[in-house]
Amino acid sequence: MNKVLIKNGTLIFPHSNQMREADVLIDDGVIIQIGSGINDRKAETINASGYLVGPGFINLHVHFREPGEEKKEDFFSGSRAAVKGGFTSVLCMPNTRPPIDSPLLISYLLNRAREVGFINIFPAAAISLGLEGKMMTDVGLLMNAGAKALSDDGKCVKDSRLLYRLMTYSQYFHMPLILHEEDVDIAGEGQVNEGSMAVKMGYRSLPKTAEDSMIARDLVLAHSTGANVHFTHLSTAFGVKLIEWFQSQGAKVSADVTPHHLLLDDQSVIKYGSQAKVKPPLRDKTDIVALKEGIQRGIIGILASDHAPHTDEDKECDFNEAAFGISNLEISVPLYVKALIDDQFINWLDFWKLLSFHPAQFLGLTKKGILEIGMDADISIIDPETHHEVKVNEFASKGKNCPFNGWQLKGWPVATIVKGKILMKDSQLEV
Amino acid sequence: MKWKHKHLLGIDQLNGEEIKILLEKGSQYRDWLEHSPKKLTRLSGYYLINLFFEASTRTRVSFEMAGKLLGMEVVNFTNELSSLNKGESFRDTVRTLARMKADALVIRHRSSGIPLYISQFLPFHIINAGDGIREHPTQALLDLLTMKRDGIDFTRNTVAIIGDILHSRVARSLSIGLKKLGSQVIFSGPPTLIPKGIEILEGQVVYPVEEAVRQADIIYLLRIQKERQEAGFFPSAKEYAHFFGLKEKPKGADGRWKKIMHPGPVNRGLEIGSSLIEEENSLIEEQVSCGLAIRMAVLETLILEGRMDE
């Protein structure tokens, strides 16, 4: 059966700012009809009454760990976690082993994505060969092979000349850059946010200045070159201010925030230990407010979760030795609901823009992020009301490293459709 | 008519009429080169010093030959064997040369502006054979001569100059010359190698390279230097060849092959596909012969007609 009919849902049209109750009919991977009272006996039907139905969520920042660290995550486990989390497309960061710095490796990843097959897995390629921050990768050849963006995520590009040249050069190929900002000389061996918690716990600190100074440098570079630059996992109030000012000057810069930087401050490290150890580190309450207001005012246009699965061995150890990162792909949507909808910073239309329409535009995915006839039938359906408990041991992801275990959340995805196929229905995975 | 310039420091100093005079004379010499034996006496008794501080085959040899064909005595000065290596300053070296009482000095130097600088105190005709990334006027003149002899109508002609515009004195001189004759100029290549401020050259920047090729009548490819990759202007030779090199013979809307030019020396398989160099639509080898002819025209014009009181 190729047809799917979604009945009686509240449809969200983020590109045209509309919400209304209607049905959606899908055939052969494409949306073919939107309207009231659609009936099709040949179609598999999903009753979406009381649910929100919109274009599939796109996560610009995940670590699926292939190749090289499949014990943390692989394309299969990561894809299942994505479906559970309502994500129909993901962009995989290239800091794998080896790093994704050649067209051959992009081809390999796309072959793996085809093999696993059920969600849209897009690869990002490295900015620098071997993530060493020295020589630029073959931007054009990587694009031809299928890379959607460039990033040295996990590392900051220290060499200003490299980034300056790259920002100029990559525009020839319309290739967007995603930057992880952290001045390594300032960050040093820092583990947590600079401040009273670090003093109390005796952990070395990773000051906001390490992030802000690099954001400032790269905003200047982006402004001067005209490059399309995206700051991922933004965590500071000053970062929001800097980006806002450069946006007002016409720089083509954007940013995203993770759910944990919206819900946890650095005091969480005391409570959750290494499960709350992440880069950038969890910051202060004032930063959380500034990030939420930044989202509300459109300065931060994308939500991306930085899903960073690790094994227990990598996390359950000496705090200073523990890996940075949080596994959150399947709970990101309800976490964002808690941080942004419950506190009335944004409405559902904004929510869908931040998680679907804007990331689709950023990646140049013209058939995604839009609920309209002729668009790809990638659909996320969420139940805005019912509360469930986060149970890490039920994660589809291999990574159980998550401080949110036991939290009561609402706004869970209940059905996920990718390329016209139902991959989750009634909260049950079908893959 | 009297030639009003003492030196040839750049194309920028010439007007369209003056360029045409040099091209006319150069064209006659180009015809004359087909005959042997070749020896003229127009400049016999005049001395030419070839002063090359940078590597060169084409330019140095063709200036030497041009001088000799016109009957001149030619002295070649090379940096390696000079007193500069004994610590003498550039200015003192040049002033020493000044006492040699030659008539013309051809100079190539890595520093932009050197020909202008020495023209202020040397009593010779100074001919710029390439200064840094500023000008290379005889290259532009030979390129224009090659186009003229290929039957190009400059007023209805678009030339795409592709590659390392940023570091190219050839691109500067040629585009200035083309504009003075009424041609349209297009620049393309990696954005890192197209300088901000290029508007001063009055060309249009067109991306991607394929579009620049499509819009042009003549494709002028620049030599790409390995150092540019090392300095991070583009990632690799492979990528350069794929996106910015010319791989196929470009065909016009009228079905005719577009002409290809290159100042040399060529990196085969990098900025230009190896097989394209010797195709019938390539003017690359003819450019060398035109280079000799135009340098004869320049030497003769400056020495016999050029003002010495400038």
> Is A382 found in the same domain as A333?
no
What are the residue ranges of helices labelled H in A297-411?
312-315, 332-336, 348-352, 358-363
Contact check, Cβ <8 Å, B232/A139: no
Same-domain status, A30 and A171: no
Alpha carbon of B177: minimum distance to chain A alpha carbons (Å): 28
Q: Give the largest Cα separation in chain A, rounded.
A: 65
- A403 located within any domain: no
Which residues in A have their CB inside 8 Å of a CB on B? 135-141, 161-162, 165, 168-169, 171-172
Q: Which of A108, A91, A154 is nearest to A128 (CA)?
A: A154
Q: Do A293 and A417 have their domain in common?
A: no
Chain B residues near residue A224 by CB distance under 8 angstroms: none
Closest residue to A169, CB basis, from B191, B208, B238: B191
Name every chain A residue with its beta carbon within 8 A of the beta carbon of B232: 135-136, 161-162, 165
CB contact under 8 A, B235 and A135: yes
Q: Which residues of A touch B238 (CB under 8 A)?
A: 138, 141
Residue B87 has pLDDT above 80, yes or no: no
Residues A301 and A389 in one domain: no
Any domain includes B114:
yes
pLDDT, one tens digit for every residue, chain A (431 residues): 589 999 999 999 999 999 999 999 999 999 999 999 999 999 999 999 999 999 999 999 999 999 999 999 999 999 999 999 999 999 999 999 999 999 999 999 999 999 998 999 999 999 999 999 999 999 999 999 999 999 999 999 999 999 999 999 999 999 999 999 999 999 999 999 999 999 999 999 999 999 999 999 999 999 999 999 999 999 999 999 999 999 999 999 999 999 999 999 999 999 999 999 999 999 999 999 999 999 999 999 999 999 999 999 999 999 999 999 999 999 999 999 999 999 999 999 999 999 999 999 999 999 999 999 999 999 999 999 999 999 999 999 999 999 999 999 999 999 999 999 999 999 999 99
A369, part of any domain: no
Any chain A CB within 8 A of the CB of B32?
no
Per DSSP, what are the bridge partners of residue B97?
Answer: none
CA angle, residues A379, A380, A385, in degrees to nearest 5: 150
Which amino acid makes up residue B42? R
Q: Are B160 and B178 in contact (CB under 8 A)?
A: no
B99 and B190 within one domain: no
- Contact assignment for B232 to A138 by CB distance below 8 Å: no
Non-local CB neighbours of A417 within 8 Å, separated by 6+ positions: A4, A6, A26, A56, A88, A377, A378, A379, A380, A381, A423
- Out of B191, B232, B238, the one facing A136 most closely (by C-beta) is B232
Record: contact B191-A135, CB cut-off 8 A: no
Inter-chain touch A138–B190, beta carbons under 8 Å: no
Quick one: pLDDT at residue A3?
96
The reply to whether B164 falls in a domain is: yes
Report whether A308 contacts A78 (CB < 8 A).
no
Nearest CA to CA, how far is B231 from chain A (Å)? Answer: 9
**Mutation target vs A (from B239, B240, B242, B244; most A CBs, 10 A cutoff):** B239
Residues A104 and A225 in one domain: yes
CATH of the domain at A11: 2.30.40.10
| B189 and B293 together in one domain | no
Query: Are B15 and B78 part of one and the same domain?
Result: yes
Nearest residue of chain B to residue A170 (CA atoms): B191
CB B161 within 8 A of CB B198: no
CA B167 vs CA A165, A289, A398, B139, B227: distances in Å: 15, 49, 52, 15, 11
Are the C-beta atoms of residues A169 and A127 closer than 8 Å to each other? no
Give how many domains chain B has, as a whole number. Answer: 2
State mean pLDDT over B161-179: 97
Here the tokens at position B10 are 């750049």
Please check whether residues A386 and A240 belong to one and the same domain.
Answer: no
Q: Is residue B3 part of a domain?
A: no
Position A277 scores a pLDDT of: 98
- Ramachandran region, residue A297 (left: φ > 0; alpha: ψ -120 to 50; beta: rest): alpha
* A288 and A141 in a common domain: yes
Nearest CA to CA, how far is A136 from chain B (Å)? 5
Dist CA A309 CA B178 (whole Å): 60
- % residues pLDDT > 70 (chain B): 96
Instruction: Name the region of A130 (left: φ>0; alpha: ψ -120 to 50; beta: rest).
Output: left
Rounded to an integer, what distance in angstroms lies between the CA atom of residue A239 and that of residue A246?
11
Q: Choose from B234, B244, B247 for mutation: most chain A CBs within 10 A.
A: B234
**For A169, which of B234, B238, B242 is closest by C-beta distance?**
B234
Residue B310 lies inside a defined structural domain of this protein: no
User: What gap in Å lies between CA B70 and CA B307, rounded to an integer?
Assistant: 20
Residue A401 lies in a domain: no
Query: What pLDDT does A2 receive?
Result: 85
B125-131 and B158-162 as β-strands: parallel, antiparallel, unpaired?
A: unpaired
Distance from CA of B35 to the nearest CA of A (A): 49
Per-window interface: B 226-265 vs A, CB < 8 A:
232-236, 238-239, 242-243
Q: Rg of the Cα trace of chain B?
A: 19
pLDDT(B39) > 90: no
- What pLDDT was estimated at residue B305? 92
What confidence score (pLDDT) does residue B80 get?
A: 67
Inter-axis angle of helices B58-69 and B137-149, nearest 10? 80
| Residues of A with Cβ-Cβ distance to B207 under 8 angstroms | 172
Tell me whether residues A169 and B233 touch, CB distance under 8 A: yes
Q: Where do the H-state alpha helices sit in B33-71?
A: 58-69
**Cβ–Cβ of A161/B192 closer than 8 Å?**
no
Work out whether strand A44-47 and strand A52-55 pair parallel, antiparallel, or are unpaired. unpaired
Query: Could you tell me which of B153, B193, B154, B190 has the C-alpha nearest to residue B175?
Result: B154
Place of tokens 């794929």: B242
Residue B66 lies in a domain: yes
Q: Does residue A368 form part of some domain?
A: no
Which CATH number characterizes residue B75's domain? 3.40.50.1370
Report the interhelical angle of A160-169 vs A208-225 (nearest 10°): 40
pLDDT score of B310 more than 90: no
CATH code, domain carrying A209? 3.20.20.140
In a domain? residue B27: yes
Task: Say yes or no for a CB contact (<8 Å) between B243 and A171.
Answer: no
* Residue B187 and residue B119 in one domain: no
What's the average model confidence in pLDDT over B114-140?
95
B interface mutation test: which of A169, A170, A171, A175 has the most B CBs within 10 A? A169
Contact yes or no for B191 and A171 at CB 8 A: yes
- Measured between CB atoms, which of B192, B207, B239 is closest to A140? B239
Whether omega for the bond prior to residue A207 falls within 30 degrees of 0, making it cis, is no
Q: Is residue B144 part of a domain?
A: no
Task: Tell me, yes or no, whether A122 and A17 share the same domain.
Answer: no
In whole angstroms, how far apart are CA A198 and each of A204, A291, A325, B145, B193?
A: 7, 22, 18, 74, 47
> What value of ipTM does the predicted structure carry?
0.91
> Is residue B309 pLDDT above 70, yes or no?
no
Domain for residue A228, yes or no? yes
> Which one, of B306, B300, B268, B309, lies nearest residue B67 by Cα?
B300
Contact between A305 and A258 under an 8 Å Cβ cutoff? The reply is: yes
Which amino acid belongs to residue A271? K
> Using CA atoms, how far apart are residues A195 and B89, in angstroms rounded to an integer?
59
Please give, rounded to a whole number of angstroms, the shortest distance from the CA of B28 to a CA of chain A: 44
For residues A146 and A274, state if they share a domain. yes
* Residue from A153, A306, A350, A383 carrying the catalytic annotation: A306
Report if residue B4 sits inside a domain: no
A123 found inside a domain: yes
Q: Which helix (H) or strand (E) holds B130?
A: strand B125-131
Question: How close A134 comes to chain B (CA, Å)?
Answer: 9
**Cα A198 from Cα A387, distance rounded (Å):** 34
Helix (H) or strand (E) holding B114: helix B114-119
Q: Per-residue pLDDT averaged across B159-178, rounded?
A: 97
pLDDT surpasses 90 at B89: no
Question: Which of A159, A172, A175, A228 to substitute to test the interface with B, most B CBs within 10 Å?
Answer: A172
Q: What three-state secondary structure class fits B164?
A: coil
Residues A156 and A45 both lie in one domain: no
Least confident of A395-409, B23-37, B266-280: B266-280
3-state DSSP call for residue A26? strand
Are B115 and B194 contained in the same domain?
no
Q: Range of A27's domain?
A: 3-52+376-395+408-429
Question: Which residue type is seen at A39?
Answer: N
CB contact under 8 A, A140 and B191: no
Beta carbons of B234 and B228 less than 8 angstroms apart: yes
- For residue B252, what are its two tokens? 């016009």
Domain of residue B41 covers 11-136+288-305
Same domain, B294 and B265: no
Phi-psi sector, A334: left (phi>0), alpha (psi -120 to 50), beta = alpha
Q: Would you report the helix, strand and coil content of chain A in percent, each value rounded to 5?
A: 35, 25, 40
Q: What is the signed CA dihedral for B130, B133, B135, B138, rounded to 10 degrees?
A: 40
Q: Supply B233's token pair.
A: 């202007």
* B298 in the same domain as B276: no
Chain-chain contact of A141 with B192 (C-beta, under 8 angstroms): no
Are residues A380 and A86 in contact, defined by beta-carbon separation less than 8 angstroms? yes
Where b means 16+ CB within 10 Å and e means fewer, A282-308 reads bbbeebbebbbebbeeebbbbbbbbbb
The domain tally of chain A equals 2
Contacts of B296 (CB under 8 A, 6+ apart): B26, B29, B66, B69, B70
Q: How far apart are CA A382 and CA A125, in angstroms?
A: 32
Smallest CA–CA separation between B219 and chain A, in Å?
20
Query: Which residues, including other chains, have CB under 8 Å from residue A426's CB and lie 6 or more apart?
Result: A414, A415
B38 in the same domain as B53: yes
B232 to A168: CB separation less than 8 angstroms, yes or no: no
Predicted local distance difference test score (pLDDT) of residue A44: 96
Residue A400 domain-assigned (yes or no):
no
Instruction: Identify all chain B residues contacting A158, using CB atoms and an 8 Å cutoff.
Output: none
A38 and A81, same domain (yes or no): no
Q: A132 lies in a domain?
A: yes
CB contact, 8 Å: B197 with chain A?
no
Q: Nearest-CA residue of chain A relative to B233? A: A165
Is A342 a known active-site residue?
no
Tell whether A307 and A224 lie within a shared domain: yes
Residues of chain B in contact with residue A138, where contact means CB-CB under 8 angstroms, are 235-236, 238-239
